[in-house]
Amino acid sequence: MPLLFLQVAVAVAAFDPEFVHRHTVNCVKSIATKYLEEYNTIAISGLVNKLTDNIYRQLNTNNSINYDILTNDWVAKELTSGIYKSGIIWNKITEFNEKVISDLKSNTPFLFVIFFPDITKDDGDNEVLATFDLYVELHNAGETPRTIIVLPLINKFNRKLFISVLKKVYIPSLGMYDVTVISPRIQYFRPKRKLKKTIHLVSDLYTWFPFTNGQCDQCMELSFLDTWTDEPNGQFQYDRNLFPQKIPNTFSKCPLIFHPHEELHTGRTNIEWIILNATFTSLNVTLICIKNKTYHDAFLLGMLGNTIKIWHYLNGEDNFMKLSITQPHIYSDFKVVVHCPKKHVLYGNFHKVFKSSLWVLFFVTCIISSVVNYIIHKTIRFELPDFREISYNFYFIWSILTSVSVPKIPRITRVRLFFVLLLFYALIMSTIFQSFFTSFLTEPVMERGIANIEELIRNNLTVFSENEIILAAFSDFSINGASILNFGGITIQMSNNPIENFLNIENSAVLTTEMDMKFKISSRMRLEKPCSFNFHSQTTQSVLFQGFSPFQEAFNFKIMRSFESGLFIKYLDDYVSSDININGTLTGDKIRRYEQEEYFAIDLQHLRIVFYIHLFGMAVSIFAFIFEIVLFKIFKYSSL
């Protein structure tokens, strides 16, 4: 927002006040002709004095604004003569401000002129401040016109007083960072072959750079720009740029007061802080994070689409301030992250089958079989007297148990019944083992997941979220300092660590952004992939600067360079790969649903033992089958 400041310092004896005013108006006209388009509007604000006492209206030459037109004012005539078809809006101080602001916004003013025709000691700061009323309202309305301040002051004391006030108070608070001082002076010129000097009124143009040499938004010295004279027809001696770039790319450690919606930690556990700190470090500013303060240079925001409402401290009172985003930003979506649905095995819960009771039954059966086998061996005579060893009886039992045929079925009824029982037992065990391992080859079904807001409400889950996310998602919803909100039946609990709460609490969800879901949550869940669904709106993450902040342009430049060079990707990769110290070891086990109702978790250690037993039984079966063939061959050979 370039600002042009005209200061006139002339001798009373040389020029009358009206001529000085004409000179300043012509200077403004010359600058406007050079830098503005023909269709741009001019807004004028000025003090009342003996020269402009009768100027009390708004003027427009094309009747787009219907105010009373007084044609006897030479200021308006000069500025509208031949160049401004869209006309001039004139505002006497504090008069019609509300109406003028409305008209200026609709006509998009490009030039704003403030006249100080005269000022005395008695006027004081109130009169000076009143002159800026219209500019202040334009500033608050978000308008950014180029501005010219005309000071045709006669008294040197008044000029010095005004400049001091302007530098220390109004320039920083109003964001007038590009200031060009045009100071008319008397120039003595001696033509050739003449002894007598002639007097001319010329203007030396100066400016100040508020961020050089560590000035940090203060004007300490002036730099010469150019000289303007109204003869012939007005011209610039050096033809230099009167609106040079005043905002540097680095700020010499100047402080920048920063306001987050959550308490940012300076460690590596907050990705916003990493990106923000890296960007502002490249600007060479001292970043100061303060939450409860009246004035802030910048706000870190998550916002709803392109329109935002932020919690803002203004004169000690809480107010909502609606603004529009204009700087580079990252679009993302609001996400509700929930625990993923768990697998449901079609063949039931085998974990309950393979418990201690099964192992007791198994070993008791083995002991009873051994005892019965020994009794049979001692009390019953087999048809094959050559094979009455106890090993032969054990061989019979294991052959039947493992579904392997025997060389000869015993004829005694009790022995047959015993072997039939063992056969049933073997079939049952074989069925259990086969179905158990077959279940791992069967595609499991999934628990019904939560895929929308209605299901979230139906399951009565607690939704955790950061303060910033809630303010962005429900910008029209009054917070009033509450720690728990209820929005559309959803219980939302604000938390400083919502992700950790979500990972450690089973029946919970977290409202966050897609960026947080990809990096914050994924880095904590390690190998697990979070499940989520879209919330109702898109969000934007950015930094919003206060008013016409000098940091905004430099920040935008750095942000664009960071995007183009891939620095953001590097920041995010560093964040994900860094060791994040959080409470407890959060792995995939933390988000699994343990045995509840029909859903269960399989103990892999237990499964390994069962697999070894089954593998041992198969080995015994193969060995018994081979041993049976060998015995049969031996028996056949011995019977010859």
Q: Whole-angstrom Cα distance, residue 275 to residue 257?
A: 17
Q: Which of the pair, 478 or 454, is modelled with greater confidence?
A: 454
Residue 317 pLDDT class (50, 70, 90 cuts): very low
Give pLDDT, residue 308: 45
2-236 adopts what CATH topology? Rossmann fold (3.40.50)
Q: What is the mean pLDDT of residues 345-368?
A: 62
Q: Rg for the chain (alpha carbons), in Å?
A: 45
Backbone angles phi, psi at 13, to 5 degrees: -70, -30
- Burial degree of 441 (CB within 10 A; 0-12, 13-18, 19+): exposed
pLDDT for 532 equals 82
Q: Rounded CA gap, 469 and 496, in Å?
A: 11
Contact 62, 153 (CB under 8 A): no
The pLDDT value recorded for residue 313 is 33
Residue 499: pLDDT over 70: yes
Q: By the 8 A CB rule, do 234 and 33 touch?
A: no
Distance CA(347)–CA(440), nearest Å, equals 10
Task: Tell me the C-alpha distance between 33 and 82, whole Å.
Answer: 10
Give 366 or 415, the one with higher predicted confidence: 366
By DSSP bridging, strand 111-115 and strand 42-46 are parallel
Choose from 299-303, 402-406, 460-464, 510-514 the range with maximum mean pLDDT. Answer: 460-464
Q: Residue 66's pLDDT is what? A: 34
Mean pLDDT computed over 286-298 = 69
State pLDDT tens for residues 584-631. 333 333 333 333 333 333 444 445 565 666 666 666 666 666 666 666
The predicted structure's pLDDT at residue 187: 72
Q: Please give the Cα distance from 476 to 508 (Å, whole number).
A: 25
Report the candidate in 201, 215, 219 with the shortest Cα–Cα distance to residue 163.
219
pLDDT value, residue 86: 46
Question: Rounded to an integer, what distance in angstroms lies between the CA atom of residue 276 and that of residue 287?
Answer: 9
Average pLDDT across the chain, whole number? 62
3-state SS, residue 119: coil
pLDDT of residue 398: 59
pLDDT by residue (tens digit) across 229-277? 887 778 888 888 887 877 777 787 888 877 665 544 444 455 666 666 7
Q: How far apart are CA 251 and CA 286, in angstroms?
A: 9
Identify the pLDDT of residue 125: 57
> What are the structural domain ranges in the chain?
2-236, 356-443+605-638
The more confidently predicted of residues 64 and 73 is 73
Separation of alpha carbons 152 and 47, rounded Å: 12
The stretch 289-315 carries a mean pLDDT of 55
Lowest pLDDT segment from 466-475, 508-517, 602-611, 622-631: 602-611
Q: Mean pLDDT over residues 324-334, rounded?
A: 56
Q: What is the pTM of this model?
A: 0.51
Of 254, 258, 277, 257, the residue nearest 266 (C-alpha): 277
Helix (H) or strand (E) holding 185: strand 178-189
pLDDT, position 173: 58
Q: What confidence score (pLDDT) does residue 190 get?
A: 59
The whole-angstrom separation of Cα 493 and Cα 360 is 50
The burial class, CB within 10 Å (0-12 / 13-18 / 19+), for 32 is buried
**What's the pLDDT tens digit per position in 190-206?**
566 666 667 777 777 77
The answer to whether 557 and 249 have CB atoms below 8 angstroms apart is: yes
Tell how many helices (H) and how many strands (E) occur in the chain.
19, 22
φ, ψ of residue 492 to 5 degrees: the values are -115, 125
Asked if residue 383 has pLDDT above 80, the reply is no
Confidence of residue 129 (pLDDT cuts 50, 70, 90): low
Cβ contacts of residue 623 below 8 Å, gap of 6+?
none
DSSP 436-496: HHHGGGSPPEEPPPP-SHHHHHHTTPEEEE-HHHHHHHTTTS--TT-SEEEETTEEEEE-S
Q: Are 22 and 197 in contact (CB under 8 A)?
A: no
Residue 482 binned pLDDT confidence (cut-offs 50, 70, 90): very low
∠ at Cα 547 (321, 86), nearest 5°? Answer: 100
Q: How many CB atoms lie within 10 A of CB 192?
A: 4
